[in-house]
Amino acid sequence: MKRGWIFWDRDELPEAEFDRRTANVRSAMRAEQLDAIVVYGDALQSGNLSYLTHFFPYADTGALILPFDAPPRLVTTHAYRNMPWFNTITWIKDIVCTGMIGPACADFLASIGAPIRKIGMVSGLSLPSAVAEAIQHKIGCEVSDFSAVYEGLRIIKSDRELAFVRKAADIADRSFKDLEAASRPEMSGFEVAAELELAVRRRGAEDLYCFIQPEGSQVGLTRPDARRIRGFFSVEIAVEFNGYWAKLGRSIFLDRALRAKGSIVELYAGMCRQFLEEELVSRSARPFLDRLRSRLLGDERLTSVRLHADFGLEPYWAPHLLTSAGASQRLEGPLSFYLQARMDLEGRLSLLRMDTYMVRDSRLFLLTPS
Amino acid sequence: MRPKSGAPSELERRRDKLLGALEKFGTSDILIYASMLRRENVRYFTNFDPMEPGAAVVFSAQSPPLLMVPTDEEKARAQAESWIPRVESYEGDIQNLPRLLKTFPLSDTVAIAGWDYFPMDWMAELRRSFPHKTWSDATPAVHGIRILKTEDEIRKIEKAAAIADAAYENLLLGVRPGLKEYEIVAEVESFIRKSQGEDNFQLLASGSGDARAMHPPTDRILREGDLLITEISPQVDGYYAQICRSMVIGEASEARRAAYDILFRAQQSGFDQVRPGMTASALAKVQNDVFRQAGYGEYVSEKYTRGRGHGIGLYIDEEPLIAEGNDFELKAGMVVMIHPNTFLPLSGYMVLGDPVLITEDGGRRLSRSRRDLAEIKIPPRGSR
């Protein structure tokens, strides 16, 4: 649940930006012959919802009902007493607090007056069946999954969105340097998290995720815990600023004797960057990754190379670019993405290098240079 | 490997109890679903805390359990954390779910726990692949078991409460004019991690007292004379505890002291009178009556307050809501928050809340930190 700084600066993100996004979504709705869409979100998966509303259900759930030709309504399970705070973060004027999202959506759709023949649902995994069924039961219309089309629109970023991604990346990068300076042998996973919580949140971040993999762990990145870290650990940080996320992954060598081994992942990171600069801009995701793999996977220690789509408004669970709406998207920008390279050394050191990149005006920018 | 939160025998006992409770739902099979936000039911029965959305465990009287997770990485974590012998990845494709479930002799009716957040695409896939089966909501069966805490669970909540207490004492030492609200949260979050809290949920509000509710922090800068209210909710080994506290930056006015006195007496009334057999409504009423007797009866409505508490455990806000009109019967072994947080015209919105274990002898507060209206001493100007 979110407990960082959530705000809306109308100069940085004017209402006109939401008008533009809404118009784009409605154009896509017209192509799909949708009379309305319902965009659902909760405290941990709010990206689709906040894209059109700048509303973040920090501990509960919410949904936007966007008719094709009528003003939208936002419904949320947060209490009505929070309305003054809601009004500081969202441009939506029509907000209803309810215990039952589905019936509240259905009631609104029924009240519009215009015939509703087909509704698009957005949010894939997090959209509850009970919400869709309440709408279908009352409206009796066809329901389709509009998520892929909607998320395809989100991949391409405006300059304003990229500025927030840059800021999130800057917080992640500087906070990682703080962590690196504070790291010491025998610190626990909780102590790693404590350093990051302080560094990230006092810089004004909205939210933070931190996963680590200590030396010898065979189960990949996990939530920090009380185990003491000896010579080495890998850490993945996701930082949200004003709704937009950046990610960074690094390996930290606490034992000097191990440090030389880290140079190999840095070598790969450098190769990835160089390859990105040479090849990415004019290519779509699939041939790019295929070529990257063929060049790098000769080394069997390199266990994975992943390129994650960054919809900008989701921390984890960003789909792999090859299986997402971005698979056929030419990576010319403006957009941002994460590139992750992992390799295992000697069965006990899981090396990680993950960075956030931005493509704008056909140029590539590394946003996490630390 | 994450420390186990319960021996397999305890987790199997939970499973068996659940299967016994399914009879009245007309089935012997249940699928317990975990969304990213609501993972607690899966964790309760498996000891596995998913890191990716879309995990589910299936229990049946006829077969060994099956834990389904979305990726191979998640499978490795689940195998390390859970007691379930069979863990399968559906490789990020829900069309693989039926293949896994068809290895399982499911009865004609299958119960689902987590119905309110069970996703649309899962339900569509299950109905398409098993057209003759009925899927029904059995979430109450899970809640009915989880709501009664064992001694081990109570110890974890007490540990979380001790971290909340320590975080509050630390906050009192560090809070001062000039801090931004989000900087306060940064300090608390960091302190809780250092104290081995795996998560935390914190809301706050500061200012003259005109807030009607707490919210995530803003960039507002604390000033002398401000009222600062907050709730701190650390999580330890899955279990949350929560305390709600009110502070004044500087000296409290008579009006604020008078308002806080009513709030304090309302909470004390709840502590003193809570007992097994009482309804949630009655527990709310004994708190609300203190406001009524003080002449502020209109401020116990939803417009000014949410409720007088709620259950707490593996999720921050569980059944029952302590509110008038809720006839839910309280029992020994339940842990509830007692928090008569209310807006009063005397003072603005003030908060005071603590977790309480209901025992045969009454309520036992699980937190220990001071409950007064804290006054934050401001250093003389020259020494700041």
Band of residue B33 on the pLDDT scale cut at 50, 70, 90: very high
Which residues of chain B are within 8 Å of residue A59 when distances are taken between CB atoms?
Answer: 201, 203, 316-317
Once rounded to an integer, what is the mean pLDDT over residues B1-22? Answer: 77
The type of residue at B39 is R
Ranges assigned E (strand) in A26-160: 36-42, 61-67, 73-76, 95-97, 118-122, 142-145
Band of residue A297 on the pLDDT scale cut at 50, 70, 90: very low
pLDDT at B26: 87
Which residues of chain B are within 8 Å of residue A201 when distances are taken between CB atoms?
Answer: 182-183, 185-186, 189-190
Each residue's pLDDT tens digit, B89-140 = 999 889 999 999 998 888 999 999 999 999 999 999 999 999 999 999 999 9
pLDDT at A278: 62
Whether residue B207 has pLDDT greater than 90: yes
- The reply to whether residue A193 touches residue B193, judged by beta carbons under 8 angstroms, is yes
Whether residue A323 has pLDDT greater than 60: no
Question: Edge-to-edge, what's the strand order for the sheet holding A118-122?
Answer: A95-97, A73-76, A61-67, A36-42, A118-122, A142-145
Which residues of chain A are within 8 Å of residue B317 when distances are taken between CB atoms?
Answer: 59
Whether residue A7 has pLDDT greater than 50: yes
Cβ within 8 Å of residue B254, ≥6 positions away? none
Among A266-270, A351-355, B105-109, B186-190, the range with the most confident prediction by mean pLDDT is B186-190
Give the residue from B35, B121, B127, B305 with the most A CB atoms within 10 Å of its CB, the best one to mutate.
B121
Comparing alpha-carbon positions, the chain B residue that sits nearest to A125 is B119
Each residue's pLDDT tens digit, A65-98 = 999 999 999 999 999 989 999 999 999 999 999 9
Greater model confidence, A364 or B15 = B15
The kind and range of the H/E element at B74 are helix B72-81
- The reply to whether residue B190 touches residue A194, judged by beta carbons under 8 angstroms, is yes
pLDDT at A284: 53
Band of residue A361 on the pLDDT scale cut at 50, 70, 90: confident
Once rounded to an integer, what is the mean pLDDT over residues B67-89? Answer: 94
Whether residue B24 has pLDDT greater than 90: no
Whether residue B38 has pLDDT greater than 50: yes
pLDDT at A125: 64
Of residues B123, B181, B215, nearest to A129 (C-beta): B123
Q: For residues A316 and A352, is the Cβ–Cβ distance under 8 A?
A: no
Which residues of chain B are within 8 Å of residue A7 when distances are taken between CB atoms?
Answer: 218-219
Give B309 to chain A, closest Cα distance, Å. 15
Neighbours of A275 (CB within 10 A): 16
Q: Given the structure tokens 């899955």, which residue do they identify?
A: B238
- The reply to whether residue B191 touches residue A194, judged by beta carbons under 8 angstroms, is yes
- The reply to whether residue A190 touches residue B190, judged by beta carbons under 8 angstroms, is no
Each residue's pLDDT tens digit, B226-267 = 999 999 999 999 999 999 999 999 999 999 999 999 999 999
Topology of domain A159-366, CATH: Creatine Amidinohydrolase (3.90.230)
Which residues of chain B are within 8 Å of residue A309 when distances are taken between CB atoms?
Answer: none
Each residue's pLDDT tens digit, B160-179 = 999 999 999 999 999 999 99
pLDDT at B282: 98
Neighbours of A179 (CB within 10 A): 23
Whether residue A285 has pLDDT greater than 70: no
Comparing alpha-carbon positions, the chain B residue that sits nearest to A323 is B92
Ranges assigned E (strand) in A70-117: 73-76, 95-97
What residues are paired with A80 via a beta bridge? none
Of residues A6, A7, A45, nearest to B36 (C-beta): A45
Whether residue A298 has pLDDT greater than 60: no
Each residue's pLDDT tens digit, A160-178 = 999 999 999 999 999 999 9
**% residues pLDDT > 90 (chain B):** 86
Q: Is B102 exposed, middle or buried (0-12, 13-18, 19+ CB in 10 A)?
A: exposed
**Integer angstrom CA distances of residue B50 from A198, B36, B40, B73, B79:** 25, 8, 9, 11, 11
For B64-68, B221-225, B342-346, which range has the lowest pLDDT when averaged over its residues? B342-346
Give A5 to chain B, closest Cα distance, Å. 5
Greater model confidence, B62 or A134 = A134
Of residues A5, A121, A226, nearest to B218 (C-beta): A5
- The token pair that represents A71 in the structure block: 């003003």
Comparing alpha-carbon positions, the chain A residue that sits nearest to B234 is A1
Comparing alpha-carbon positions, the chain B residue that sits nearest to A220 is B73
Greater model confidence, B3 or B329 = B329
- The token pair that represents A185 in the structure block: 């042998």
- The reply to whether residue A81 touches residue B187, judged by beta carbons under 8 angstroms, is no
Whether residue B201 has pLDDT greater than 50: yes
Once rounded to an integer, what is the mean pLDDT over residues B17-28? Answer: 91
pLDDT at A325: 41
Give B203 to chain A, closest Cα distance, Å. 7
- The reply to whether residue B211 touches residue A84, judged by beta carbons under 8 angstroms, is yes
Which residues of chain B are within 8 Å of residue A225 when distances are taken between CB atoms?
Answer: 2-3, 198
Band of residue A365 on the pLDDT scale cut at 50, 70, 90: confident
- The reply to whether residue B306 touches residue A3, judged by beta carbons under 8 angstroms, is no
The angle formed by the CA atoms of residues B4, B52 and A329, to the nearest 5 degrees, is 160
CA atoms within 13 A on the CB side of B245: 26
Give A278 to chain B, closest Cα distance, Å. 31
Of residues B79, B115, B187, nearest to A130 (C-beta): B115
The kind and range of the H/E element at B127 are helix B120-129
Band of residue A328 on the pLDDT scale cut at 50, 70, 90: very low
The type of residue at B27 is T
- The reply to whether residue A4 touches residue B219, judged by beta carbons under 8 angstroms, is no
Comparing alpha-carbon positions, the chain B residue that sits nearest to A217 is B1
- The token pair that represents A147 in the structure block: 């998520």
What average pLDDT is seen over chain B? 94
What does DSSP assign to residue B169? Answer: H
The angle formed by the CA atoms of residues A316, A148 and B96, to the nearest 5 degrees, is 75
- The reply to whether residue B122 touches residue A129, judged by beta carbons under 8 angstroms, is yes
Give A182 to chain B, closest Cα distance, Å. 14
pTM score over 0.90: yes
Q: Per-domain residue ranges for chain A?
A: 15-155, 159-366
Q: For residues A75 and A96, is the Cβ–Cβ distance under 8 A?
A: yes
Which residues of chain B are within 8 Å of residue A224 when distances are taken between CB atoms?
Answer: 193, 198
Band of residue A315 on the pLDDT scale cut at 50, 70, 90: very low
Which residues of chain A are within 8 Å of residue B215 when distances are taken between CB atoms?
Answer: 58, 82, 85
Q: What is the second-level CATH architecture of the domain A15-155?
A: 3-Layer(aba) Sandwich (3.40)
pLDDT at A291: 62
Each residue's pLDDT tens digit, B270-320 = 999 999 999 999 999 999 999 999 999 999 988 888 889 999 999 999 999
Q: How many CB pairs under 8 A join A and B?
A: 167
3-state helix, strand, coil in chain B (%, to 5): 35, 25, 40
Each residue's pLDDT tens digit, B351-381 = 999 999 999 999 999 999 999 999 999 877 6
Whether residue B152 has pLDDT greater than 70: yes
What's the distance, CA B292 to chain centroid? 29
Which residues of chain B are within 8 Å of residue A58 when distances are taken between CB atoms?
Answer: 215-216
- The reply to whether residue B121 touches residue A43, judged by beta carbons under 8 angstroms, is no
Q: What would the DSSP string read from start to end of A134-201?
A: HHHHHH--EEEE-HHHHHHHHHS--HHHHHHHHHHHHHHHHHHHHHHHH--TT-BHHHHHHHHHHHHH
What average pLDDT is seen over chain A? 84
pLDDT at A259: 76
Give A196 to chain B, closest Cα distance, Å. 8
What residues are paired with A305 via a beta bridge? A341
What residues are paired with B249 via a beta bridge? B376
The kind and range of the H/E element at B231 are strand B227-236
pLDDT at A85: 93
- The reply to whether residue B306 touches residue A81, judged by beta carbons under 8 angstroms, is yes
- The reply to whether residue B76 touches residue A219, judged by beta carbons under 8 angstroms, is yes
Give B361 to chain A, closest Cα distance, Å. 34
Q: For residues B182 and A204, is the Cβ–Cβ distance under 8 A?
A: yes
Which residues of chain B are within 8 Å of residue A128 when distances are taken between CB atoms?
Answer: 116-120
Could you give the angle at which helices A263-275 and A285-296 cross, rounded to 10 degrees?
A: 140
Q: Determine if residue B250 is left, alpha or beta; phi over 0 gives left, psi from -120 to 50 gives alpha, anything else beta.
A: left
Whether residue B48 has pLDDT greater than 80: yes
pLDDT at A45: 85
Comparing alpha-carbon positions, the chain A residue that sits nearest to B187 is A198
Whether residue A38 has pLDDT greater than 80: yes
